[in-house]
Structure 1
Amino acid sequence: MKSIFTKLMLTAAVVTAPFMASADGHSDDLTYILVSHAPDSDSWWNTIKNGIALAGDQMGVTVEYRNPPTGDLADMARIIEQAAASQPDGIITTLADYDVLAGPITAAVDQGIDVIIMNSGTPEQTREVGALMFVGQPEYDAGLAAGQRAKGDGVESFVCVNHVISNTVVGERCRGFADGLGVDLGDSMIDSGQDPAEIKNRVTAYLTANPETDAILTLGPTSADPTILAVQEMGIAGDIYFGTFDLGTEIVKGIKDGTIQWGIDQQPFLQAYLPVVVLANYDRYGVLPGNNINSGPGFVTADALGKVEEFAGEFR
């Protein structure tokens, strides 16, 4: 990994799509398209862009990144259809909502396009749409592990701040956390939206109305960053148990100063990098891993920041 990070640090800026490369001399002109559900405002996906940039460079293939600018899933479905119509050698896509996206993904597979599901979705859903494999973090299992850890730390109640309520798979993190604690999810999951000011207000309102709440669980930087501000303004930073999914600059600062107990790293870099490598080797040599690839979860705490702090928001 040292050589990978060294090469990444030589990159002057985050590479945007399309990213074209032929560094290793291959002349088979392979083209892949990665379609995500993320809106343009979600900086967490910069790591995904860096992952496909490096993989494209190393494998000598063209990789394009496409997404719905506002995060609208119906728009994402159309983008998948457009990607399939261009007949790429492969499509890498999230499966943020099975009901909305299964149709266009299955249609792409039926056209003979190799598909890998990454980040959002499940291995079961991956099989149902006919994709080659799933690369990502099993969301329920990650939430369960987080809940069991929090239970061991004495937590009995929590609020889950869900900024992507339409993404039912991500919501499994909240359900897993509740099951890990051994409590009902009930009203403990709030739909925070994605506006930072509104997230801060809704978290503040919930904690004010439910002062007995032991813990906060956020699902990524979009919800974690405003929640950090909320607990700071309420004067409870470091007193209320705070765990989060994913990493980012403010999250790492929060772990370092004691506001956040841990962050769960699903390693988005690998979620983007590995599918490109797998598809290129599958197209060229017919080799394919026999199982899905779990990229997480891994707990990041204050005593294990190291390179995580150095690369948070870019490659971690």
Structure 2
Amino acid sequence: MGKGRWLLAVLAVALFAVAGCGADEQAGEQQGGEGGLADRGDIRIVMVTHGPPADPFWSVVKNGADQAAADLGVEFEYRSPEAFDVVEIQRNLEAAIASEPDGLAVSVPDPDALGPLVQEAVEKGIPVVMLNAGREDWEEFGALTYIGQTEYEAGVAAGERMAGEGVTNALCINHQQGVQTLDQRCSGFEEGLGGTVEQVAVDGNDPTAARSGIQTALRQNPDANGMLTLGPAGANPALQALEGADVGEDFVFGTFDLSPEILQAVADGQVLFAIDQQQFLQGYLPVLYLTQYVQYGLRPVGEVPTGPAFVTQETAEEVIELSRQGIR
């Protein structure tokens, strides 16, 4: 061993020993997340979202939030409507604010209806992180940050990819009407495609009805040579609808968000792409950031993008197992 490398090795051992001593001295102080402005065991965070529990996308968001709470040792509560219902979301948010949590994470699909409640929470001294929906308004409402993807731009990218495959006439399947982010995806898709886009509303809470609605749309639009769905609640029924549909071999299907069924279809070449916005992080990061803010006064500067990223046939296999585990 050369002299220089020997000295580096000695220094590394010395630094390790010093770090070890320091860690021993601070172990009691830091164990259990103690120290700072609050102990983690005393921190309670509530998350209010607009996603029904049956939606595979939102189950992954909840998995991320639950994992963060377990990793950090904080108390956590998740509230969501049985089906997309702005009034029920308002009630959930009002109840969350009334419970006086240490931190509040919330998706805001309807800024006019939910924004004033976010502002109310902030005025009461409750730090808020917004996620998934409400990107344009988080600063106005006083939230610490926003975590999610740029929906309109993601729609544009989806349209450009389909246009590159020769799609000129497409269906955009909206499984949850009234959600601002889904409307933005369809609008961006139309711009990116540069062709004809027919928006079709289906009931994402009823897979059978959604499949039937997509089958009807395909029959009524025989010139369509492409289709975009906006999440698993639309994509999974669409896969079933396409099985018996009279579409040509060149018909192109793409979707937002992931599920094991979608990823397998991407791997098999049935679906051109699935747009990944890493919803596990949309659940995990709000709990992490709120805990850090309450305990240490730390916060991100600006919004935190989690997408879009495209999963294609070349990359689908490596993501499938993680999706089965409720992570991707």
TM-score (norm 2): 0.85
Match of 2:314 in 1: 303
Higher RCO (C-alpha under 8 Å, 6+ residues apart): 2
- 1:184 and 1:62 mapped to 2: Cα distance? 49
Confirm whether residue 40 of structure 1 aligns to residue 50 of structure 2: no
Query: Alpha-carbon deviation of 1:41?
Result: 2.2
User: Which of the numbers 118, 123, 148 marks the counterpart of 1:136?
Assistant: 148
SS at match of 2:129: strand
Structure (1 or 2) with the larger CA radius of gyration: 2
> Any gaps of 5 or more consecutive residues in structure 2?
1-29
> Any gaps of 5 or more consecutive residues in structure 1?
1-21
User: Which of the numbers 237, 240, 262 marks the counterpart of 1:229?
Assistant: 240
Query: Alpha-carbon deviation of 1:160?
Result: 0.4
The answer (yes or no) to whether the contact 2:84–2:176 under 8 Å persists in 1 is no
Counterpart of 1:169, as a letter, is T
- 1:263 and 1:23 mapped to 2: Cα distance? 41
Match of 1:190 in 2: 200
- 1:72 and 1:23 mapped to 2: Cα distance? 42
User: Which of the numbers 155, 165, 172 marks the counterpart of 1:153?
Assistant: 165
Alignment of 1:241-252 (within 5 A): 241-252=252-263
Counterpart of 2:96, as a letter, is A
Once the two structures are overlaid, the 10-residue window that deviates more, 111-120 or 68-77, is 68-77
SS at match of 1:154: coil
Confirm whether residue 253 of structure 1 aligns to residue 264 of structure 2: yes
Match of 2:85 in 1: 72
Match of 1:4 in 2: none
Match of 1:50 in 2: 63
Match of 1:105 in 2: 118
Q: Deviations over 1:219-270 (max 9, x none)?
A: 1110111110111111548641000000002101211222111000010001
Query: Alpha-carbon deviation of 1:44?
Result: 2.1
Match of 2:220 in 1: 209
Once the two structures are overlaid, the 10-residue window that deviates more, 32-41 or 88-97, is 32-41
Q: Deviations over 1:172-213 (max 9, x none)?
A: 00100110012365xx11111222122112211121121111
CA RMSD of aligned residues (A): 1.7
Query: Alpha-carbon deviation of 1:38?
Result: 1.4
TM-score (norm 1): 0.88
Query: Alpha-carbon deviation of 1:169?
Result: 2.1
Confirm whether residue 175 of structure 1 aligns to residue 192 of structure 2: no
User: Number of paired residues?
Assistant: 292
Select the structure that is richer in helix.
2
1:238–1:116 Cα change, 3 Å? farther
Q: Deviations over 1:262-299 (max 9, x none)?
A: 00001000111111111111112212111100100000
Match of 1:118 in 2: 131
Identity among equivalent pairs (%): 38
Match of 1:16 in 2: none
